[in-house]
Amino acid sequence: MSGRQNEPAPPTAVEKEDRGSERQRSRAAAAWLRRQVRPVRAWHGLAVLCGLGAGIATIVEAAALARAIGRAADGLWVEAGRVLPWLLLAILARALLVWGQERAGTEASARVRHRLRLDLYRSMARLDRREEEGGTATLTVRLIDQVEALDGFLSRYLILSPLAGLVPLLILIVSFSQNWVVGALLLLTGPLIPLFMILIGLGAEQASRRQSVALAQLGRRFLDRLGGLTTLQLFGRVEPEAAALTAVADDFRRRTMAVLRIAFLSSTVLEFFASVSIALVAIYLGSVYLGYFHMGAAADGISLETGLFLLLLAPEYFQPLRAYAAAYHDRAAAVAAAGDLMPLAPAEAAGPGDAVPTDRARIDAAPSLRAEGALAVSLRGVTAGHDGAPLLDGVDLDIPPGGFVAIVGPSGIGKSTLIDLLLGFVPPRSGRIAIGGQAPLAARGRVSWLPQRPALVSGSIRAVIARGDPDAPAAALVQAGEAADVTGFAAALPRGLDTPVGERGFGLSGGQLRRVALARALLKPAGLLLLDEPTSDLDPVAERRVLETLRRRAGAQTIVMVTHSAAAAAHADRVYRLEQGRLSPLAGPEATP
Amino acid sequence: MSHPLIRFLGRTGEGRRGLILAVLIGTVGVLAGAALLGLSGWFIVATALAGSLASFNVFTPSAGIRTFTLLRTLARYGERLTGHDGTLRILAGLRLWFFRRMAALQPAQRGFERSGDLLNRVTADINALDTVYLRSYAPAVQVLVSLLCLALLGWTVGFLPPWLPLLAAALALGLPLLVFRASAAGGRVQADATAALRSALVEGVQGARELAVFGGEAAAAARVAAQSARLVGGSRDTARAAALGAGVVLLGTRLLAVLVLVHGLAAGQAGMAGVGSGLLALAVLATLGLLEPLGTLPQMGQSFARAARAAENLEAVAAQTPLLPEPARPLPLPPRPDIGIHGLTLRHGPDLPTVLDGLDLHLPYGVHAGLYGPSGEGKSSLSQALLRQIPLTAGRITLGGVDLADLSEADLRRGLSYLPQTPTLFDGSVADNLRLAAPDADDAAVWAALDQVELGDLFRARRDGLDSWVGEGGLRLSGGEAKRLGLAQMLLRAAAVTLLDEPTGGLDRDLAERLMPRLHAAFAGRTLVVISHQPEDLAGCGWVGRLQAGRLVVERTEACSGRGADLPS
């Protein structure tokens, strides 16, 4: 494909407008993040306290070192040695406190990440989103990688940001108490601290946001092409595509560097002031010692010890700011991740379309409730789907216990929505649904289901089927396998029914996987069997066998089958066509071809 | 045997120069910083002792202080810029290397098609490698230079014991090792837990509705919780090591500075010649400055551990030798490529069942053939074998009498095109996707192909027309629409031999019945092989065979002799 895709284009007016709302979004994401952090406030407090303690220890250390050298300069070598225990104590305390700061920060981060992930999992598992939305990759990226991406923010940034204000303030106070000129020097060179913060903040955040967006685009393109490598190979387009990837990456690098050249200036300014303040302090003190001038000095001048102390403090004054600046990208990364995570979070998740069944746990408690026979199904004026274009529009349907109904219609017309309604995953916008006289949610324990794309397929073939009824005897399991035409192909596998299924196991074909899921659906003792395309991907022989099984099941179980296949529909008692939100009876079995 | 990380340095492409530059500039910055601190300390003590202007040359040291100040600032800026530039180049170089490596392999060896997660994992691994050189080599060089300077300093001031730099070196060496080992252990737990968590999440979220119907939600949630706890625990171990490292580095460097102080004091007390407090201040402060780069070592150990694991993972994927390498001396594709299959046997593994068992087949050029059979009975395997994507267990396949294995990759792909069951759409416009199959097709040809598959109106109705974005972040095409776009690709390609795998899957019956005759007309004179589980799709085929239990049963062979037109060479 041409090299012009995915290029970060120069901002248009629309984009500039977008940037305003983007800032709003990022502010909302930051606020959400801070709410997540509340439960670990104690750990964060501890970390900040440790950091503050380490700052104090640093001052003591500088004082001890200055005294030792100062005494030595006066020729008092032994007195100088007496300071050593203090020095060692300060160093030890500082090392311990630094360790404590990191440990506490880590602990806070670990706790928040774990809890947040579980919250998000619960809400995602509860959202009952349609299966098409969010592939495996998106899901795991969000719940694993993006939650982990919060680590830097949680364990470092949140601690370094108060310390960047507190520790310099402490050092400033101490410096002023020793010498007002040096204090003023620090105050002038550094303290534009808030100004620095803004400088770093604006420059770094904007640059890092723009860069991370572009980098993500670049990464997506790479992922896209790498994932489709087989197609590129088949079309003989590997090398042209490799060249295009290189060109895009090169172009991206050039643009990024142009941005960074300016963005890095803000941190360079910080570096510069840090260096300059050391130089200025040294030159000022030297000038005082040489008698150049006396401003800020007491009548007897400044002692060497005080001078050294002030000199040692100067770099420490800037250190917390530098650490904060270095951690700043953690915030940008976390805000970006939070922007994606926030919509999934429990509190914000409940939109009008995603009404959440709350009493699922109760149903889960009795999963293997024995069926008391086939269930009647009744729909009265059921409407579902979006406001403008309802997928179902006042549908009425009555199925007697043991009835076998097929529903046909073009794809995307709402057939799967109907199944979602019958399972109680989605409430109807209006109208009533009763299964065996109960609401769908309450009846779910007695309803079995073959999804269009089975997802719960880890473990062996046997284990997948057994989920239908964990208490079923082995013979019943094999029987269900036979009914769904599983045993036929399983016999050819070296490990038979114990063959592992799924991503890492033996690659079962789509049709085989569906038959395994069908066996599971048949095994569950249910009064209503919902089947979403039970015969798609099946060849005619397998299809016939499966349909014959269903025919035999009808009567003992009520069956609702959504299908494309004319052959499948021919096996049902009644066939309905779903079109423009309405169900119209097609014919009985005698009328279908 | 070298470490994978060192081998990867060879694959970083142009980034290496920027990297070396960044390391050098960064080292200058560190030295300037140490010199600034040491010189300032010495300056204060010396001026304090000198006491008057007359006896002191104030200009040289203050000029030095100004120079070092500026140098340090500029060096940090330069280091950042060159480092980022180098990192971006390295990332591009590594991606290109990996892309080409993967392109040389067969699909089954890559395994991406089966698992989107695997794909995500390798890209995460590549991303983990891009900064490791900056984060580990740069500190390593800086620490080394600093240690040399420390030795030099010791030799200059005279009162430092010679083992002091060695002690510093031991600290510099032991520290990353300490963190590396703990991080590596934590990282292994993290990698393990991530994989387990991933499958628990997929099962719990994608299977949420099945769990609701079949039970087991609580167990699924417990699995997620347990794996998340393990993952967080692993990162906690890693962070614990880093915290320990941070504490130790602080303690170590400061204690070394104290040792310098103690020795200076002892030397001064003993009246050692030339040891004044100015020199003492210089030595202590410069030592602190020189040991500053050690502060980056714990982080280096951590990022090294992660990168080493990433490098190993990538090598494991990339180091595979292509199952079916290109022939050293390829033969040209004959103009009338009859398909010949002779005694073809396929088995995907030693303990797996035989998929095809001694298959023989001759399809003259120009025939339209249909192949059907139960799912999972070898139809897909046969097409993979024809596409030279899997090795043959026994037998051979020829195109126009030339063994498939003797054709060059370019010739093979030009002569043979394939529509997979689920066609891949790339992130790009419709035109981009279609021109992927036929780079030279003009707009008229593209529209004509779209109209053939009845997609023309869909895109004509859109503002962007052929530039409508499909794939991720674009127009979401249904499975049937994607299949039709794939068919349009086949039409534009017009290869000598075209294989269609389930061409009507996901299409309505009516549409399928309109499309199939059009395809037969479009490919008249060329070979078309239609693979389907629906016999209705094969109505227009002159030759029909059924695959069952690894055998081929020919059901129809009308007009099966060379109808093919000669290809333009």
Tokens of B429: 């416009």
- Read off the pLDDT band of A115 (50, 70, 90): very high
Q: Which residue of A has its CA nearest to B44?
A: A286
Contact criterion met (CB < 8 Å) for A128 and B255: no
Please indicate if any CB of chain B lies within 8 Å of the CB of A280.
no
Say yes or no: A255 contacts chain B, CB-CB below 8 A.
Answer: no
Residue among B36, B214, B356, B509 with most chain A CBs within 10 A, to mutate: B214
Rounded Cα distance, A547 and B523, in Å? 37
User: What would the mean pLDDT of B1-27 be, rounded to a whole number?
Assistant: 76
Query: What's the CA gap between A327 and B294, in Å, rounded?
Result: 19
- Beta-carbon count within 10 A of A287 CB: 17
Task: Report pLDDT digits (tens) over B64-119.
Answer: 888 888 888 888 889 888 888 888 888 888 888 888 888 888 887 776 655 556 67
What is residue A54's predicted lDDT score, i.e. its pLDDT? 95
Phi (first) and psi of residue A394, to 5 degrees: 65, 50
CB–CB contact A106 B239 (8 Å): yes
For A85, nearest residue in chain B (alpha carbons): B258
Domain ranges of chain A: 19-352, 369-590
DSSP state of B136: I
Strongest mean pLDDT among A131-140, A243-252, A516-525, B354-363: A516-525
Chain A residues close to B254, C-beta within 8 Å: 61, 91, 94-95
Q: Count of CB contacts below 8 A, A vs B?
A: 444
Shortest distance, CA B381 to any CA of chain A (angstroms): 11
A19-352 and A369-590 have identical folds: no
Q: What is the DSSP string of B362-374?
A: EE-TT-EEEEE-S
CB-nearest to A237 from B96, B436, B509 is: B436
Mutate to test the interface with B, among A5, A60, A143 (most CBs of B within 10 A): A143
On the question of pLDDT at B329 being above 50, the answer is yes
Question: Does residue A143 carry a pLDDT above 60?
Answer: yes
Contact residues, chain B, for A6 at CB < 8 Å: 427
Which residues, including other chains, have CB under 8 Å from residue B267's CB and lie 6 or more apart? Answer: B158, B159, B275
Q: Is A273 on the interface with B (CB under 8 A)?
A: no
Are B439 and A237 an interchain contact pair (Cβ–Cβ within 8 Å)? yes
Determine the average pLDDT of the residues in A287-314: 79
Tell me the helix, strand and coil percentages in chain B, rounded to 5: 60, 10, 25
Assign A346 a pLDDT band (cuts: 50, 70, 90): low
Q: Which residue in chain A is spatially nearest to B438 when comparing CA positions?
A: A235
- Is it true that domain A369-590 has CATH number 3.40.50.300? yes
| Residue (of A437, A429, A588) closest to A527 by Cα position | A437
Task: Please check whether residue B387 is in contact with residue B107, taking contact to mean a CB–CB distance below 8 angstroms.
Answer: no
Show the CA angle centred on residue A249, arms to residues B441 and A152, nearest 5°: 135
Residue in B232, B353, B423 closest to A492 by CB: B353
CB-closest option in A2, A494, A508 to B432: A2
CA of B560 to nearest chain A CA: how many angstroms apart? Answer: 26
Of the partner residues A6, A107, A276, the one whose CB lies closest to the CB of residue B69: A276
Chain A's closest residue to B65, CA to CA, is: A279
Contact B232/A137, CB-based, under 8 Å?
A: no
List the 158-217 stretch of A: residues with Cβ below 8 A of B: none
Query: CA-CA distances (angstroms) from residue B523 to A496, B367, B416, B565?
Result: 43, 10, 13, 11
Reported ipTM: the value is 0.80
Across the interface, do B47 and A510 touch by the CB < 8 Å criterion? no
Residue B462: DSSP 8-state: S
Contact: A289, B47; criterion CB under 8 Å: yes
Contact A73, B277 (CB under 8 A): yes
Instruction: Categorize the per-residue pLDDT at A201 as very low, low, confident or very high, splitting at 50, 70 and 90.
Output: low
> What are B484's two structure tokens?
């039709």
Work out the pLDDT band at B535, boundaries 50, 70, 90: confident
Q: Tell me: the pLDDT tens digits for A424-444?
A: 888 888 899 999 888 888 888
Higher pLDDT, A218 or B516: B516
Q: Check B265 against A451: CB less than 8 A apart.
A: no
Structure tokens at A435: 């299964």
Q: Please say if the pLDDT value at position B290 is more than 60.
A: yes
User: pLDDT tens-digit profile of B412-442?
Assistant: 999 999 998 878 888 888 998 999 899 999 9
d(CA A335, CA A30): 6
User: H or E element: which one contains B470?
Assistant: strand B469-470
Q: How many helices (H) and strands (E) does chain A have?
A: 24, 11
Work out the average pLDDT over A583-587.
Answer: 80
Count, residues in chain A:
593
φ/ψ (deg, to 5) at B13: 65, -140
Whether residue A143 and residue B201 make contact (CB cut-off 8 A), yes or no, is yes
CB contact under 8 A, B251 and A91: yes
**Do B232 and A113 make contact, defined as CB atoms within 8 angstroms?**
yes
Q: Which residues of A touch B17 (CB under 8 A)?
A: none
What pLDDT sits at residue A384?
A: 85
Q: Which of A275, A312, A363, A541 best tests the B interface by mutation, with the highest count of B CBs <10 A?
A: A275
Predicted pLDDT of residue A350 = 39
Mean pLDDT of A67-95: 86
Best of B28, B47, B470 to mutate (most A CBs within 10 Å, chain A): B47
Residue A467 is nearest to which of B214, B247, B439, comparing CB atoms? B214
Which whole number is the average pLDDT over A473-493? 86
B239 and A155: CB-CB below 8 Å?
yes
- Token pair in block for residue B551: 């055998």
For residue B100, the chain A residue with the least C-alpha distance is: A242
pTM score, two decimals? 0.75
Q: Which of A:52-71 have CB within 8 Å of B? A: 61, 65, 68-70
pLDDT on residue B471: 66
Of B66, B201, B231, the CB nearest to A121: B201
> Is residue B57 classed as helix, strand or coil in its secondary structure?
coil
Residues A272 and A364: their CA atoms lie apart, in Å, by 64
| pLDDT confidence bin for A454, thresholds 50/70/90 | confident
Per the CB < 8 Å rule, is B533 touching A113?
no
Convert the pLDDT of each residue in A514-537 to its tens digit.
889 999 999 999 899 999 888 876
Percent of chain B with pLDDT over 90: 18
- Which tops the pLDDT comparison, B565 or A54? A54
In the beta sheet, which residues pair with residue B354? B347
- Residues of A in Cβ contact (< 8 Å) with B483: none
Q: What is the pLDDT of residue B274?
A: 62
Res B121 pLDDT > 70? yes
Is pLDDT at B270 greater than 60 in this prediction? yes
Number of residues that this document lists for chain B: 569
| Residue A504: band (very low, low, confident or very high) from pLDDT cuts 50, 70, 90 | very low
Q: Where are the alpha helices (DSSP H) in B113-216?
A: 116-130, 132, 138-157, 163-201, 208-214
pLDDT tops 70 at residue B559: no
Give the pLDDT band (50/70/90) at residue A193. low
CA B455 and chain centroid, separation: 35
Coil/strand/helix, residue B325:
coil
pLDDT grade, residue B526 (50/70/90)? very high
CA distance B521 to chain A (A): 23
CB contact under 8 Å between B103 and A242, yes or no, is yes
Residue with tokens 């952090």: A37
Residues A98 and B250: their CA atoms lie apart, in Å, by 8
- What confidence tier does B451 reach under pLDDT thresholds 50, 70, 90? very high
Chain B contact for A349 (CB, 8 A cutoff): no
pLDDT by residue (tens digit) across B389-420? 888 989 999 999 999 999 998 899 999 999 98
pLDDT of residue A345: 74
- In this structure, what token pair is assigned to residue A138? 């998106």
Percentage of chain A beyond pLDDT 70 is 79
Nearest to B427 among A221, A235, A246 (CB): A221
* Nearest C-alpha neighbor of A114 from the set B444, B225, B513: B225
Range of A48-52, B167-171, B428-432, B554-558 with top mean pLDDT: A48-52
Q: What is the pLDDT of residues A566-575, one digit of tens each?
A: 778 888 899 9
Residues of chain A in contact with residue B286, where contact means CB-CB under 8 angstroms, are none
CATH class of A19-352: mainly alpha
The pair of structure tokens assigned to B553 is 């049963």
The one-letter amino acid at A174: V
Cα A510-A511-A515 angle, rounded to 5 deg = 115
B77/A271 touch (CB, cutoff 8 Å), yes or no = yes
Using CA atoms, how far residue A55 sits from A61, A87, A90, A364, A482, in Å, is 10, 14, 10, 55, 74
Q: Identify the residue among A82, A235, A486 best suited for mutation to test binding to B, counting B beta carbons within 10 A and taking the highest.
A: A235
Over residues B177-191, the mean pLDDT reads 82
Burial of A78 (0-12, 13-18, 19+ CB in 10 A): exposed
> Closest Cα to residue B439, out of A244, A230, A368, A382?
A244
C-alpha separations of A583 from A5, A397, A402, A451, A568 in Å = 45, 8, 20, 21, 18
In terms of Cα–Cα distance, which of A422, A374, A370 is closest to A532? A422
**Among candidates B206, B435, B437 on the partner chain, residue whose Cβ is nearest the Cβ of A455:** B206
- Whether the per-residue pLDDT at A408 is higher than 50: the answer is yes
More confident residue, B310 or A559: A559
Instruction: Check residue A108 and give its pLDDT.
Output: 94
pLDDT at residue A401, rounded to an integer = 92
pLDDT of amino acid B97:
87
| Cα–Cα dist A19/A33, whole Å | 20
Which residues of chain B lie closer than 8 angstroms to A512, CB-CB?
375-376
Residue A345, chain B, CB below 8 Å: the answer is no
Q: Is A586 helix (H, G, I), strand (E, B) or coil?
A: strand
Could B51 and A290 be called an inter-chain contact, meaning their C-beta atoms sit closer than 8 Å?
A: yes
> Quick one: pLDDT at residue A352?
38
Cβ of A223 within 8 Å of Cβ of B221? The answer is: no
A238 and B103 in contact by Cβ < 8 A? Answer: yes
Residue A408 near residue A564, CB atoms below 8 Å: yes
B65: nearest CB among A246, A283, A540: A283
Facing A364 at nearest CB: one of B41, B203, B215: B215
